[in-house]
Structure 1
Amino acid sequence: MGRRLAIIGAVVLAFVLGGAALVQLAGSGATAFRLEGQVLHLSGPVNGAAADRLQRLMEENPQITVIALGDMPGADDVVWAAQMGGLIRAAGLHTQIQGAVVNDAILLFLGGAERRQAGGTLVLQSDAMQRRMGVGVDGSIAADADRQRLVTTMLGDVQFADFMRQIRATREEYQLTDADMARFGLLTAN
């Protein structure tokens, strides 16, 4: 009887520890939000729940004026990133780059009514590199059209979307330079 209870206890303990590990693993890939006065800090990969959470936080905190982007390794789906960029622009919020903002996460930055670089970088990585890093990549024709549509809406033309596609197809990783930022009109303030 004692042995049976020990086995049952071990099985229960394994389930509890396994469940806790799964919860931690699921949370590790989520977009993190931190409100600090008028600044909403975002970091982590952009996922499906992030767009809804951003909208809710903006509604609940009308004092937000700036979206500060920390390290954002990309987005699982371009639609979520484009939706978040659209929300940011519709609210007239400003964006700033504080970390490495990669691939489709750049679409959030473009949503800013004013866009600043605050010590961070914009980075383009190949789809293969994104996959190796565990970031989902939507390389479909529809996703490319969504990128082009958002970039055209935010910047007035499609040139930056074409540049993104070209760099992602020909280089493993590329950090946008000051000249790139000026060429495409990515920054509106220093």
Structure 2
Amino acid sequence: MRRRFLAGVATLGVAFVAGCTGLQVAYLNSYDSISFEPSGTDLMVSGTLNQYSLSSFEAAMAAHPDTKRLVLLEVPGSVDDETNLKLGNRVRDLGLNTHLTAKSEVHSGGTDLFLAGVARSMEEGAIIGVHSWAEGNRAGADFPKDDPVHTAYVRYTERMLGSADFYWFTLEAAPVEDTYIMTPADIAEYGLLTKPVVKN
């Protein structure tokens, strides 16, 4: 899954999934494609984030109010970034933590959700992928930094990490049809973790 194929803030939430047609993306946004499964005080998260993800999360939290942490397993991306950013902000509002297991793999919108944790931890072996978004033939980096198309992502990243540097990094890391797997040095440089990597 890949992030962001959007035509400006007015259409924020229309996303592109690499290798998929527009019809396939529409299909992925037509049903609840994310799961939140309780495990003690954790919610185990897997699937594609879409327009139903926030309401699905709220239902899971209502059923399991003692939840302290989201454990992201396979979260390959988002097909509705507007909802995904709302979900991330809600996770932060609730003071939840996020965690990646040694077998976890998150990309683009899944990476954005990981950033929402107050405390963010991962085990050695977890995969974090990022890439740019595009509008037609223009990549995100082709737009001036003061273009409103960036505003929602900048505000989100600043809230989660204290700086928008990571967002600007994602725009240059890989094109929309590809993904860049972050190195340990990248993860440290942009402050994605609040705790040391758990060695296996």
TM-score, structure 1 normalization: 0.73
What are structure 1's unaligned runs of at least 5 residues? 1-25, 129-138
Q: Is 1:123 paired with 2:121?
A: no
Match of 1:59 among 53, 59, 62: 62
Equivalent residues of 1:124, 1:175 under 8 A apart:
yes
- Greater relative contact order (Cα < 8 A, sep 6+): 2
* 2:74 alignment partner, SS class: coil
Taking the TM superposition and a 5 Å limit, the aligned residue runs for 1:110-189 are 110-118=115-123, 119-125=125-131, 144-169=150-175, 172-189=178-195
- Alpha carbons of 1:143 and 1:74: their partners in 2 closer, same or farther (altered >3 Å)? farther
Q: Which has the larger radius of gyration?
A: 1
CA distance in 2, matches of 1:120, 1:106: 12
Give the number of the structure whose residues are more often helix, by fraction. Answer: 1
Identity of aligned residues (%): 27
**RMSD value over aligned CA atoms?**
2.7
Taking the TM superposition and a 5 Å limit, the aligned residue runs for 1:86-105 are 86-98=89-101, 99-105=104-110
What are structure 2's unaligned runs of at least 5 residues? 1-29, 135-139
- Alpha carbons of 1:87 and 1:58: their partners in 2 closer, same or farther (altered >3 Å)? same
Cα deviation, residue 64, structure 1: 0.4
- Alpha carbons of 1:37 and 1:170: their partners in 2 closer, same or farther (altered >3 Å)? closer
Q: Partner letter of residue 45 of structure 1? A: T
Cα deviation, residue 183, structure 1: 0.5
The one-character-per-residue Cα deviations of 1:104-161 (angstroms, maximum 9, x if unpaired) are: 2211111101000134211024558xxxxxxxxxx79666322111001111111000
